[in-house]
Structure 1
C-alpha cells in the first residue's frame, strides 16, 4: 500500500523535460508516382493519398534508410497516383486527391485542408533524439473522442494517456494512463465538422491533451511517426473511414449476444452443471457459461483438470442440450514442462519468443515458468490455431483470450523484456517496438484457427488486450473492473469511445470483477448491460457471488425482467450488429454521433443510444430514484409509460429500482421477439415490430418518419457470406391523418414460404379508421385467431396490425385516420 511517503520530496525523482527541436532546415522535395517526400536536414516526410478522405504522413529521422511498413493493425491498401507539387520561396503546396498541404519552409508547420478548404488542422513535427513528437492545434470549442479503452469521460480533452497494453489490477481511476487496449486514434469534433488522426505505432506512444489548452501532442520513441488523417467531414464519416483502414467486425454467432455468466472460477464439473440447471429452473435466459483458469490441469492451456472435470466432453454435450455453451479461458503463457505437448512442439519448431542469445524468453504466469508464442510469425499463428482442435473436439466453439498484453508476473515491467525478439514476418523487431500488437495477433491466431476447424460455423473470441484492428477477430471486455458504482459509470464512456475507435462488440464485467457487489448495484448494472453489445456477469474468487438470484427475490425478479428484455430485443440488436459489419459504426453510440450539431451532446458521458433511436440513461448512484436525462431534437417517448416529451431539453426521469430510464424516438422502428431461454436461429419468429408515431401535431413537429433493416440468417454459420440471409427494410412515415408502412425484402435467406408479422403502433397522432385491404377486428383475441387484420386499443392508443406475406415479396399498407 502506498502512503504519503510516496510524495516525500526526497523520494521523488527529478522531472526532466526533453528539449524538442525542429526537424532541421528544409532541403528539397521529391515527387514520385504515388507519393511526395519532403527532405529536411534530419528527417524525411512522405505523403500518400490513400483513399477519398484519407492521407498518410510518414516521418522518419535520418540515419535509417528502411521504409516505414504499415503494421498488422491495418488492412492492405493501394495509394493513389496524381500528386501535384508547387514550390515557392517560402512554402510548399502539395495537392493529392482532395487534400492540400501547405508547408512553411522555415518552420515546417503544415496546414492540411480537404475539399474546398475544409480545415483538417495545423501540425508540426519535432524530435528530441529518437523521440518524435507531432503537435496539432485544437479549435477552441473542439471535443476529442476516440482513443479506445481509456478512463475518464467521453470528451478526452484535458487528459493524457500512454498507449502501452498493461495488466492493470489496481482500481481503474481517471488518472490511469494505460489499460489493456491501445488505439491511438482521436477525433476532433466541432459543430462545423470532424476529422480523425491515427498513429500506426505498436510501441509505446503518448497522447497528451493536457499540457496545452489549445494544442495536443502525440509522441513516439523509435524515430518514426506514421500518421493517418481522416477528413470526415461528418463524425460518422470519420468512424467509417477509420474502419475502412483497420477493418470491420465480422458477424458473430447469435449466441454470443445472449446473457453470459462467469466467475473466477466455477471450480468443477458439478458446479457448472448445477449453475446451468439453476438458470433453467429459475427461467432466467442464459447462453454461455465461462470457465476460468481452474478448469485446467495445473493451469496448462489445452488441458482439463482430470479431477475437477472428469468428463468435460459429456458435460459440454449435456449443456448444449440445455442451450448453454462453454467458453474457456486460454492464455498465451505455455508452461515449461517436459512431456507437455504444446511446450515440446513449440520448442522443437522455434515458435516461442526468444532473447537475443537465441534462448526462449521465460516468465512466470499462472502455471509458473512459461514461454510465449511469437504470434508475429504466420507459422506460429497457424500452429497455435491448430492446437484449438482440443477444444473443438470437446464441442467448444468460442474462446476467451486473457493475459495477452502479455502479462508477466516476474518482470519489472510486468510484460516481456524489451529486448525479446519477434520474427515479424521476416522484419525482426524487439518487443519494445511491437508490444501493443501481441494481444491482437493472438486473437487473430485463435479466430482463424477456430474458423478453419469449425467447418463453416462462426467462431467467437473474447479478448482483454488489443490494438487498432482487434475488431476483425474478437469482442473486447474492459478487464478487471471493480464492484464500484463509479466503475459502472466509467464503462459508459469506455464503451462509447471504443465504438468510435472501430470496436463495436464491447462490454464490461456486469456487477464488477473485484470487491463485493450489492443487490442494488447488480440490478443497476444488469439494466445497463442489457443495452451493451457484450453482456457478461463476471466476478472474482473470494468476492461475494453475483449470479442473478444471489441477492433475494426482488433482485432476482428485476434481473430476470431485464435479461428477458435483452432476448426480446435480439432482432433489433442483431440487425445493428449486421449493419456495423457493413458501415463500421458502433452499436452503443454517444448521442453526439447522431446529433453532431448539438453542443449539449458533446460532453454527455452517462447516457447513450442503442442504434439511432433507443436512448438509455442508466442509474449510476446508489439510492437514486430519479435522474436527469437529456433528450435531443425530436419527439421522445418513455419506453415504460409512453409519456411524450419534446426534445432539446433536460427532463427528470423517474427511476425506482425496477426502472431503467429508457426512451424511444418518434419514427423509431424497433422489432421485438418473444422471450426464449437461449438463442436459437436468427430467422425471427413471433415478431412484433413496434413503431412510434408523432403523438400529436403541435406545430413544431408535424410529421414523423423512420426506417430499419431487419436482418435474418441462421445465426450460426458463415452461409450468410454466400447470400443465405435476408433483410426486411421497413420505412414508416406519418403526416396528417395518414401513416404509411413500406416493406421491401432483399436476399434469399428465408426458409418459409410466408411469414406472419405483427406491427404495434404507439402514439399515432390520429385515430385510425381503416387500412385498405386489411379487415378491422374487434378484440385482441379475434386478432390472434386470424391470419390478418387490425385492432385499435383506444385506451392505450395502440394500433395492432397483423398480416401474412410471401417470403419473396414486399408490401405496403396505409393507415387512414
Structure 2
C-alpha cells in the first residue's frame, strides 16, 4: 500500500527530461545518397528518408554520416513505401531543403530545427528540433496556441492530452487506473497535433522507454528517449482522418476478424470447471441473451502450465468445446508467456533444448516468477522461437479453438523490482542481439504476432482471433486489445470513452474494456450502464476478477437482466453496421469509435468532448456514466439528428439536456444516414445477412447520401481472394420525392437472401405512392411477400420489400 512516505520532502527525483541537452546544430555537412539524405551537425546527425507520399522519416543519431549504416527497423513498420524517385536537395546560405513528391523538409543550418511543407511552401507541421544529452536524445515540437494533442495510445485522462505527461513503458498495472498514471499495458508512441481542423502526426519508432511531456512547457512538447535512436515518422494531414489513414498505411491495419469475435463475450477470473462453463452457456441460451464466446482464465490449466488443461477441473475439453460449438459458443483460453521450469513439462524441455528462451547477459535462461512459479520466457525477437511458439497452438486448434487471449505479456514478472525482465536481459533478435531495455515494448507485439501467425497456419483457412493486453505500434495487425485490469468504478466506465477514441487515433480500431469492471464488485446499475456502452464497443467482453461478485447479466435481478438483454440484442441487430465498420478499418485504418473532432473537423466545440463518441460515421452515442442519474447533457454537432429510439428530430450545433432513465442509452442518428440491421440471433452465423434491413433516417431538408455495405462468410480468409460483396445504397431526398437505389459494386459471395427490406424512418405521413410497387395491407403481411410496401402509422415508418438482385431503384412520392 502506498502512503505519504512516497512524498517525503527529502525525496528529490530527477527525470530524464529535466537533464541538460544540446541542440544538434549547426549543420556542417550534407550528403545525398539518393534514397536518403544525411545532414551532420556538430552534436548529432539527421537522416531523412521518405516512407510514402505524405510521410517522411527523420532519424536523429549521435554519429556522423561516415559512421551511419542502415538504421534499425522494428516490426511496427511495414517494409517498403518509400518514393520511387531520388530525393532532391537544395542548399542556401541559411537553410537546407530536401524534397520528394508531396513533401519538402526545410532545415535551418544554425540550429538544425526543421519544418515540413507542401511543394508550395505551406507549413504542414510545426517546427521541430533534435537535441542530445548524456546517453539520451530529445525531440521538441511546437504546439500551436489553442491546439489539441491526441493519440498516444492507451493513456488515462481526458481526450485532449495537452498538459499531460506519459511514459511509454508497457507495465502490469493492477493499482486503480487514475488520471496521473503515466504507463499502462500498451505503448503506442504516436502523437497527433490538431488545430482548427488541421492535423499532423509524429510516430517515434523506438521500443525502449520514451517520455512524452506536454506539461513542462505549454508552447512545445518534449520527447525523451532512454535508449536508441530518435527515429521519427512525420505524417502530414491536413485532416485527422488523413493522418490516421496514412499512419496505419505505415504500421499496418487490422485483418477482418471472425464474425463471432464481434459478438458478446463472457469472461471471469476464473470459471473453475468444465461443468461451470457448460452451465454458463446453457443459461445464456435459456435466458435468450446472445453470446458468442466464453473465456477460460488461468484455472483451466494444469498447475498454470500453458498448453495444458487441468485433468480434474476440465477432464474432457474436446467434449466441452464440441458441446459449446453446438450452442454457438466459442472458447477463448488465456495463454501467458511464462513457461514453468519443470523438466517433466514438454514445452519447457523442448524450448530449453532449442535455446528459445530469453537470456541473461551471462548466457543463461532468464528466470522470473509468474503464475506457475519460476518460469522462463520465449524470445519473440527471434523468428525461429516465434514460429515454435506459434506452432504450439495446434494444441488448441485441434480441440476446435480458434481464439486466444494473450495476457501478462508486458511481460509481467513477480518479485522483481522492475516488475518485468531485467533491462540487461538479452534478446537474440535474429543474430543482432538487443537488450530488454531497448526492446521491452515490442514483447507483447512479438507474442501476439507469433500467436496469430501460428493460428493461421493451423486453422486451415479459418480466421484466428487474438486478444492482447500488451502491445506496441502495429499491434492492430495481429490482435484486438482491451484496456486491462480496470475496476468497477463509474470513473473507469467514463475513462474508456477518451481512451478508446485515442486508441483509434493511434491505429487500434478493435478495442474494448472489461464491461462491469474487473476488480472491485459491480452493482446492477453500473453493469447496466457499462453494458449499454459496451454494446457499442468494437470488443464487447464482460470480465470480472477472482473473489468479486459474479457479474453475468442475470446476477442482479430481472430488471437489470432485461435491460442488458435488450442492449446486447441491439448489438446483434446492428452487426451489419459494425461488420462494415470493421471492413472500413481494415481498408482505410479509420477507427470504429471516433472522436467528434475526427468526424466534424470544422466544429471546434467538439474538439475536446470526452464523454460521447461517434460509432462509425452516423451514430452518436452518449452513455450515462454517473450513478443515480437520469439526465445528461449531450452535444449535437452541426446538422440534423434523430433520436434512434423515439424518432425525435434535433437541431445540431447545440448542447441539450436529455432524459435517460436506466433503460435508456441516448443514441442519435445523423439525418440522411443509412443504418443496416438484421434480425436478432442468439449467436452469429455468417456475415451474408439473411435478413437485411436497411434503415434510412429521413431528414427535414434535402439530403444526398450513400452507404457501402460489406458482407462475406464471416469466418474464412476467402475474402482475401475476392469472395465478398459490397452493396452501395443511395438516397436522393427532396421535398416531394425520395429516390432510393442499391447496386452491387462487387459481388462474389453468395448469400441466402431472397429480398431486402428498406425502412424509411420518420415518415410523418403515408406516401402517396411508390412507383412500381404494390401497397400491402400491413407491415406483418409484408413479411410474407418478396415485393411490396406498407406504412406503419404508429412508428411513422415506411417499409419497402424488394427482391434480392443486382440493381434496384425505388421512387417514393411523398
Q: What TM-score does the superposition give when structure 1 sets the normalisation length?
A: 0.97
Contact map agreement 1:35 1:83 (CA 8 A) in 2: yes
The answer to whether residue 793 in structure 2 is matched with residue 814 in structure 1 is no
1:730-769 equivalent positions in 2, closer than 5 A: 730-752=729-751, 755-764=754-763, 767-769=766-768
Q: Using the alignment, how far apart are the partners of 2:784 and 2:333 within structure 1?
A: 46
Out of 92, 97, 118, the residue aligned to residue 96 of structure 2 is 92
Q: In structure 2, what is the Cα distance between the partners aligned to 1:153 and 1:387?
A: 41
Please give the alpha-carbon distance, in whole angstroms, between the structure 2 residues aligned to 1:480 and 1:448.
26
Kindly state the Cα deviation for residue 14 of structure 1 after the two structures are TM-superposed: 6.2
Question: Structure 2 residue aligned with 1:83, among 87, 95, 101?
Answer: 87
In the TM superposition, 1:195-594 aligns within 5 A as: 195-594=200-599
Provide the rounded CA distance (Å) in 2 between the counterparts of 1:83 and 1:360. 46
Alignment of 1:28-107 (within 5 A): 28-62=29-63, 65-80=68-83, 81-107=85-111
- Aligned-pair distance for 1:747? 3.0
Deviation of 1:356 after TM superposition, in Å, equals: 1.6
Equivalent residues in 2 for 1:601-680, closer than 5 Å:
601-680=606-685
Instruction: Give 2:4's aligned residue.
Output: 4
Cα deviation, 1:120-142, whole Å, max 9, x if unaligned, reads 11011111122111000011121
C-alpha deviations, 1:251-304, integer Å up to 9, x for none?
000000100000000001111111111111111111100000000000000000
Ranges in structure 1 where 5+ consecutive residues have no aligned partner: 697-701
Q: Partners in 1 of 2:33 and 2:49 — Cα distance?
A: 10
- For 1:272, what is the secondary structure of its paired residue? helix
| Structure 2: distance between partners of 1:15 and 1:570 | 48
The structural deviation recorded for 1:118 is 3.1
* Counterparts of 1:638 and 1:170, CA distance in 2: 39
CA drift at 1:13: 4.4
Q: Structure 2 vs 1, CA of residues 151 and 318 (structure 1 numbering), >3 Å: closer, same or farther?
A: same
Find the residue that maps to 2:719 and give its secondary structure: helix
User: How far 1:11 sits from its partner (Å)?
Assistant: 4.2
Distance 1:485 1:379 in 2: 45
Deviations 1:484-507 (A, max 9, x none): 000010011111111111110000
Change (3 A) 1:549 1:215: same
The whole-number CA distance in structure 1 between the counterparts of 2:724 and 2:582 is 14
**Contact 2:611–2:622 (CA<8 Å) still a contact in 1?**
yes
5+ unaligned residues in a row in structure 2: which ranges? none
Once the two structures are superposed, residues 329-384 of structure 1 have per-residue CA deviations (whole angstroms, 9 ceiling, x without a partner) of 00000000002111001111100001121100000000000000000111011100
For residues 150 and 191 of structure 1, do their structure 2 counterparts lie closer, same or farther at Cα, with a shift above 3 Å needed?
same
Cα deviation, residue 786, structure 1: 2.2
Deviations for 1:507-526, whole angstroms, at most 9, x for unmatched residues?
A: 00000000010000000000
**Quick check: 109-118 or 43-52, which moved more?**
109-118
- The Cα shift of 1:27 comes to 1.1
Q: Could you say if the C-alpha distance between residues 87 and 12 of structure 1 is closer, same or farther in structure 2, counting changes exceeding 3 Å? A: closer
Tell whether the 8 Å contact from 2:228 to 2:438 is kept in structure 1 after alignment.
no
Q: Which moved more, 1:148-157 or 1:765-774?
A: 765-774
Instruction: Write the deviation string for residues 215-252 of structure 1: whole angstroms up to 9, x where unpaired.
Output: 10111122510001100111101000000000000000
Report deviation, 1:25: 3.2
Greater Cα shift, 538-547 or 70-79: 70-79
**Structure 1 residue 791: Cα displacement:** 1.3
55-64 or 573-582, larger mean C-alpha shift: 55-64
715-724 or 468-477: bigger deviation: 715-724
By how many angstroms is 1:733 displaced?
2.0
| Contact 1:113 1:121 (C-alpha < 8 Å) held by counterparts | no
Match of 1:784 in 2: 783
Kindly state the Cα deviation for residue 93 of structure 1 after the two structures are TM-superposed: 2.2
Q: Distance in 1 between matches of 2:71 and 2:487?
A: 40
Alpha-carbon distance in structure 1 between the residues aligned to 2:497 and 2:86? 44
**Secondary structure of 2:124's aligned partner:** strand
Alpha-carbon distance, 1:164 to partner:
0.4
Q: Find the aligned partners of 2:81 and 2:268 in 1 and give their Cα distance.
A: 46
Across the aligned residues of Structure 1 and Structure 2, the Cα RMSD in angstroms comes to: 1.4
Which is further off, 66-75 or 437-446?
Answer: 66-75
Report the alpha carbon displacement of residue 115 of structure 1 after superposing the two structures with TM. Answer: 4.2
Residue 402 of structure 1: CA displacement?
0.2
Name the SS of the counterpart of 2:214 in structure 1: strand
Report the CA distance between 1:24 and its aligned residue: 4.5
| SS of equivalent to 1:188 | strand
- Inter-partner Cα distance in structure 2 for 1:24 and 1:708: 52
Number of positions where the alignment pairs a residue of Structure 1 with one of Structure 2: 809
- Partners of 2:649 and 2:577 in 1: CA distance: 22
Q: Give the whole-Å Cα distance in 1 for the aligned partners of 2:751 and 2:90.
A: 64
Deviations 1:603-658 (A, max 9, x none): 01110011101000000000110100011111101111111101111111110000
CA distance in 1, matches of 2:641, 2:752: 37
1:752 Cα offset (Å): 4.9
Q: Secondary structure at the match of 1:74?
A: coil
Secondary structure in 2 matching 1:274: helix
Q: Is the 8 A contact 1:729 1:743 kept in 2?
A: yes
Q: Distance in 1 between matches of 2:617 and 2:13?
A: 50
Tell me, what secondary structure is at the counterpart of 2:48?
strand
What TM-score comes out, normalization by structure 2 length? Answer: 0.98
Query: Using the alignment, how far apart are the partners of 1:93 and 1:207 within structure 2?
Result: 28
Contact 1:162–1:177 (CA<8 Å) still a contact in 2? yes
Q: Following the alignment from structure 2 to structure 1, what is the Cα–Cα distance between the partners of residues 311 and 739? A: 63
Q: 1:773 to 1:15 in 2, by over 3 A?
A: closer
The CA deviation at 1:449 is 0.3
Mapped partners of 1:306, 1:445: distance in 2: 27
Partner of 2:117: 113
Contact 1:507 1:535 survives alignment (8 Å): yes
Structure 1 residues 232 and 485: alpha-carbon distance in aligned structure 2, compared to 1, 3 A threshold: same
Q: What is the DSSP-based 3-state SS (H/G/I as helix, E as strand, rest coil) of the residue aligned with 1:284?
A: coil
